[in-house]
Amino acid sequence: MSLFLVVALPFLGALLPGLMNSAGRQACAGLTFTVTLAAFIGLLTNLPAVLAGDLVTARFDWIPVVGLNFTLMLDGLGFFFACLILGIGLLIITYARHYLAREDNMGEFFTYLLLFQGAMVGIVLSDNILLLLVFWELTSLSSFLLIGYWKHLPEGRQGARMALTVTGMGGLAMIGGMLILGNIVGSYDLSVILQNRAVIQASPLYLPALILILLGCFAKSAQFPFHFWLPHAMAAPTPVSAYLHSATMVKAGIFLMARMWPVLSGTPEWFVIVTGAGLITMVLGAVIALFKHDLKALLAFSTVSHLGLITMLLGTGTAFGAMAAVFHILNHATFKAALFMSAGIIDHETGTRDIRVLGGLRRLMPVTFVIASIAALSMAGIPLLNGFLSKEMMLDEAYRTVLFDTVWLVPALATVGALFSAGYCFRLIGHTFLGPVRDSYPAKPHDPGFGLWGPPAFLTVLVVVIGIAPFLAEPFVKLVTASVLGDTATLPTAHVKIWHGLTPALYMSVVAVVGGLLILLAYRPLLRLWDAAPRPEAKDIFERIIAFSVAASQAVILRLHNGAFSRYAAIGVVAILVAGYFAWVTGTMDAPTRMMQSANWVAIAGWAMLMAAGCALVLLHRNRLLALILIGIVGLMVSVGFVYFSAPDLAMTQFTVEVVTIILLLLALNFLPNQTPIESTVLRRIRDAGIAIAGGLATMALSWHFLMRDAVTTPISEFHLANAYKGGGGTNVVNVILVDFRGFDTFGEIIVLGIAALLIYALTETLLDGPVRARLLNRQPDQPRAGDMHPMMMVVLTRVIMPVVMIAAVYIFLRGHNEPGGGFIAGLIASIGMVMQYMASGFSWASARLRYPYHGVIGAGVLIAGLTGIGSWFVTKPFLTSDFMYVRIPPFEKFELATAALFDLGVFLAVVGAVMLTLESFSRLARTVDRRDSEHAMDIDPSRDEPEGDEPTRNTAKEGV
């Protein structure tokens, strides 16, 4: 099976359990199992090639420009990890099916699990480090979901957050390290990077890259000082802990260290950092684990300790160390997953995981006892079990490792770690299973069904088989080791066997086991000592660091981003001015190439009106209605300017938009205060005026500069002018650009316009659903109302005008391709015609006669435009290629049929729908309780003539006067 499929199957499958939740727990679990099994079998089909030493690859260029390609490769190491992930995944799925309670959402669980599984498989099969980083981050995210699966538990949420924070930060460091590494080598392909050991280690950037990558690995694999997140992640359901913390998530960091081993290892830096961190983690984890009373916490710290052991082995940089590491990864996955599952069984059946209230379970849960004991003894390093073999290899390697020129340091620490490791294993067995049967447990203990004990039992069988017959596993371990080593070292010839003779490692092992037993005997006094000893609580430190970071960032952010819009605006304007000034003074200025054109009196008069209106607007803006009139003058003069400077289309658009904008602002002003109060100080107004004048002068200078000079290169409009008629079939070049040359832009614009209108509609709905509704309904208008709500002259006039406006809109639309006009302008004209009906005859009257909702009109417009564009695919042309032809139907003159006209129809509809939906939404806010909107137009409101005593005083409270 293609590697793509192996990686993709879990992701594709992840969609299903969540959707199939209603099909039942069995169906969800069965489906997840099937998907995983399919991926597993797919992986196994590649086994012959891996055994033959081939590199199975699959390649798909994703974003080759940045070196990000979807390339996968499968060698021994990748196969080993993928096998662990999918194989143990199968056992976990079976186990989880029986472990999760009825009220747990199983579909959700399995969806997360498959997502995680896919991400893990992606990591181990990636041949591109950027792709690997994508999967790496995906595991952080999906493990966050899994750890926090029990959302109702605060520990679950906190643990998930902590795991995400730590692994996510590590991931960031990792991204930096990988990018540096890729830059050193000049390729982001792992297979290329792995060939460049000498180049990488000679680079001055080797150390930063190494540190960053190791930060990522250590965070992920819970190495000191990042070890604290793992025990807190134990709030997850046990299947998650068993999966994430035995074979997968925490091994990702180990995997990456193994993957990068050929190019990163072997230097003093690597040795000191990796071996040092591994040793500390191993001892620290083992010591803490001994004094944990929660079974899962004990196992969590033991996992930390064993990960430290593997890290230390990878750190030594010798081929034998790598082989021991690989072997221990395998062994640890088997016994630790079995132990986690056993802890889950005990929790499930006795109702507690606290060792202090357990004991004597040997008689009550014999099956679990056997499974857990074998696994724990293996972890303790008892002969004939697989843990013994790899621990011997570890001690052997430690014996020959010299750190800081101190011969005894590493062997001594390794022995201490092994000693405490044996101690907590014995405690696990002794305090949980042995001893007298208690009178009461939180629940009545009994062995679970096969669904729960089957998976750990299977792993225990592996523990024993490998332990007794290591020669069965040896070829596989050596195969994997060979792919870890690459070309940098030769495979060690040593064999994995139970009896090596009386070696130092054996003595160390004996010391560890005997010491472990002694610790168990002296447990009570040791515990008292431990409890009395002061020690830093990692969680508190973590939380203090988080609190400090939050406070520090708030101190910065709240000062800069204090919610004062006018301040941001001022800072923004000044910054742009400074940047522009810098560009201006550092640039060169050519002499003007154009002559100034003379202005006639009409132009000067228009200019004077614009300037006067602009100045008056600033001075009189506090009177908002007046401001609206003044801005109308500005808009009008701008439209006139467009006419004057050969832009009839623009003038028509500006003019019609001006009308609807003023209507819109009038509607808004209905609710807003009529006056703007004087609030800012004189100083502040002077400051603002200074900024504004500087900005105005800058834009004026800029405009003046380029208006007096020709364009530096030939404008691309030459092409548009030359091809508008030949290629687009229209003589109005602006319209041809809109619907043809740059039709895709226009398509985007009408979608944006539609979204804006829908947004306004949604905001209106939200307002009308909330507390604002009552306030709006009981609003007292601040102006006396006209008694004649629908003036008869206006009603008659607008209705008579309506067909004329519509004919004008159709005319403007149809001629748009050849003469000024088109969909945008026609849409605006048609909207104005309709808005007039609302204004004259009332909202209810107009709404009752509305046949199509405006949302639908927007949708139809976008759809028509889109389908017109898609239509060109059927003649194998790119999206939105237009076509046209001339038709003659007697007795009419020859006329043109263009697909662009159909596109323009879409534009027309979208504009009509958007403008109308916007205005309609605003006017819906205006309806009040005391003034029911009549369904009949042309009625007189008699209430105007009724005497009202408080009439003169009612509306004196003007806004902000």
Q: Quick one: DSSP state of residue 70?
A: E
Nearer to other proteins (CB atom), residue 8 or residue 647? 647
Rounded Cα gap, residues 42 and 880, in angstroms: 43
Q: Report the C-alpha gap between 420 and 283 in whole angstroms.
A: 8
880 binds other proteins (CB under 8 A): no
CA distances (Å), 719 to each of 714, 723, 737, in order? 10, 6, 11
Instruction: Give the nearer residue to other proteins in terms of CB position, either 437 or 608.
Output: 608
Least distance from other proteins to the Cβ atom of residue 546, Å: 23
Site for other proteins in 581-600 (CB under 8 A): 594, 596-599
Strand partners, 886: 896
Smallest gap from residue 837 Cβ to other proteins (A)? 20
Binder to other proteins among 325, 915, 916, 937 (CB under 8 A)? 915
Cα–Cα distance between 65 and 51 in angstroms, integer? 35
Q: How far apart are CA 942 and CA 788, in angstroms?
A: 9
**Interaction residues for other proteins, span 702-731 (CB under 8 A):** 702-704, 706-708, 710-711, 715-717, 720-721, 724-725, 731
Contact segment (CB under 8 A) with other proteins among 214-222, 247-255, 329-337, 738-746 equals: 738-746
Least CB distance to other proteins at residue 679 (A): 5
Cα 879 from Cα 241, distance rounded (Å): 51
Interface segment toward other proteins; rule CB under 8 A; list 369-377, 464-472, 853-861, 917-925: 917-925
Which 187-246 positions form the footprint of other proteins (CB under 8 A)? none
Beta carbon nearer to other proteins, 195 or 661: 661
918 makes contact with other proteins (CB under 8 A)? yes
Number of CB atoms found within 10 A of residue 430's CB:
17
Which residue in 154, 677, 784, 803 binds other proteins (CB under 8 A)?
677
What Å distances lie between residue 881 and 464, 512, 741, 859, 896, CA to CA? 71, 79, 9, 22, 17
Tell me the C-alpha distance between 205 and 210, whole Å. 8
Interface segment toward other proteins; rule CB under 8 A; list 124-132, 350-358, 405-413, 667-675: 667-675
Distance from C-alpha of 255 to C-alpha of 476, rounded to nearest angstrom: 17
Q: Judge contact between 142 and 11, C-beta under 8 A.
A: no
Q: How far is the CB of 699 from other proteins (least distance, A)?
A: 4
Non-local CB neighbours of 305 within 8 Å, separated by 6+ positions:
281, 282, 283, 284, 285, 286, 289, 417, 420, 421
Please report, as residue ranges, which positions from 739 to 778 form the binding site for other proteins (by CB under 8 A): 742, 745-746, 749, 752-753, 756-757, 759-760, 763-764, 766-767, 770-772, 775-776
- Closer CB to other proteins, residue 407 or residue 756? 756
> In the complex, what is the shortest distance from the CB of residue 656 to other proteins, in angstroms, rounded to a whole number?
9
Q: Is 957 in the site for other proteins (CB under 8 A)?
A: yes
- CB closer to other proteins, 385 vs 911: 911
Q: Among 54, 50, 56, which residue's Cα sits nearest to residue 72?
A: 56
Task: Decide whether 7 or 901 has the Cβ nearer to other proteins.
Answer: 901
Interface residues for other proteins in 102-141 (CB under 8 A)? Answer: none
Among 84, 264, 828, 834, the residue binding other proteins under the rule CB under 8 A is 828
Q: In sequence order, what are the residues at sequence separation of 6 or more whose Cβ sits closer than 8 angstroms to the Cβ of residue 568?
A: 561
C-beta of residue 301 within 8 angstroms of C-beta of residue 288:
yes
Among 732, 837, 841, 899, binds other proteins (CB under 8 A): 732
**Number of residues forming the site for other proteins (CB under 8 A):** 123
Residues 472-531 within binding reach of other proteins (CB under 8 A): none
896 near other proteins, rule: CB under 8 A = no
Strand partners, 59: 71
Output 153 or 617, the one with its CB closest to other proteins. Answer: 617
User: Which residues, 6 or more positions from 703, have their beta carbon under 8 angstroms from its beta carbon?
Assistant: none
CB of 419 closer than 8 Å to CB of 516: yes
Closest CA to 134 of 26, 221, 229, 62: 62
C-alpha of 434 from chain center: 49
Q: What is the chain's Cα-based Rg?
A: 39
Near other proteins by CB under 8 A: residue from 167, 460, 921, 923: 921
Pick the closest to residue 622 from 567, 697, 675 (CA basis): 675
Closer CB to other proteins, residue 482 or residue 738? 738
DSSP state letters, 341-397: HHHHHHHHHHS--BGGG---HHHH-HHHHHHHHHHHHHHHT-TTSHHHHHHHHHHHH
To other proteins, the closest distance from the beta carbon of 637 in angstroms equals 8
Give the amino acid at 196.
N
Please say which residue, 45 or 703, places its beta carbon nearer to other proteins: 703
> Nearer Cβ to other proteins, position 77 or 627?
627
Candidates 2, 26, 554, 680; binder of other proteins (CB under 8 A) is 680
Q: Is 911 near other proteins (CB under 8 A)? A: yes
Smallest distance, Å, CB 824 to other proteins?
A: 5
Q: Which is nearer to other proteins, 2 or 778 (CB)?
A: 778
Cβ 779 to other proteins shortest distance, Å: 8
Using the rule CB under 8 A, give the single segment among 35-43, 67-75, 851-859, 918-926 that binds other proteins: 918-926
Which residue is it, tokens 């819009």?
Answer: 565
Task: Find tokens 């008659």 and name the residue.
Answer: 796
Beta carbon nearer to other proteins, 372 or 631: 631
DSSP character at residue 235: G
- Please tell me the distance from the alpha carbon of residue 912 to that of residue 556, in angstroms, as a whole number: 46
Of positions 689, 774, 796, 807, contacts other proteins by CB under 8 A? 689
Q: Comparing C-alpha atoms, which of 313, 324, 217 is closest to residue 271?
A: 313
Question: What is the C-alpha to C-alpha distance for residues 558 and 905, in angstroms, rounded to an integer?
Answer: 49
CB closer to other proteins out of 205 and 697: 697
Given the complex with other proteins, which of 176 and 695 has the nearer CB atom?
Answer: 695
Q: Using CB under 8 A, which residues numbered 599 to 658 contact other proteins? A: 599, 603-604, 607, 610-611, 614-615, 617-618, 621, 624, 627, 631, 634-635, 638, 641-642, 644-650, 653-654, 657
With CB under 8 A as the contact rule, which of the stretches 184-192, 340-348, 423-431, 691-699 interacts with other proteins? Answer: 691-699
Interface positions, 772-811, toward other proteins (CB under 8 A): 772, 775-776
CB nearer to other proteins: give 24 or 673: 673
Binding mask 154-183 for other proteins (x = CB under 8 A): ------------------------------
Please report where in the chains the tokens 């959302």 appear, as a residue: 151
For 90, 153, 310, the CA distances from 465, given in Å and listed in that order, are: 20, 40, 22
One residue of 12, 664, 860, 863 binding other proteins per CB under 8 A: 664
What burial class does residue 657 get, using C-beta atoms within 10 Å of its C-beta: 0-12 exposed, 13-18 middle, 19+ buried? middle
Q: How far is the CB of 726 from other proteins (least distance, A)?
A: 10
Q: How far apart are CA 629 and CA 708, in angstroms?
A: 33
Quick one: which of 47, 564, 777, 940 contacts other proteins (CB under 8 A)?
564
**Is residue 554 a contact point for other proteins (CB under 8 A)?**
no
In terms of CB distance, is 202 or 686 closer to other proteins?
686
Distance (Å) of CA 692 to CA 192, 622, 689, 698: 57, 18, 5, 10
Nearer to other proteins, 541 or 689 (CB): 689
Determine if 671 is a binding residue for other proteins (CB under 8 A).
Answer: yes
CB of 766 to other proteins, least distance (A): 8
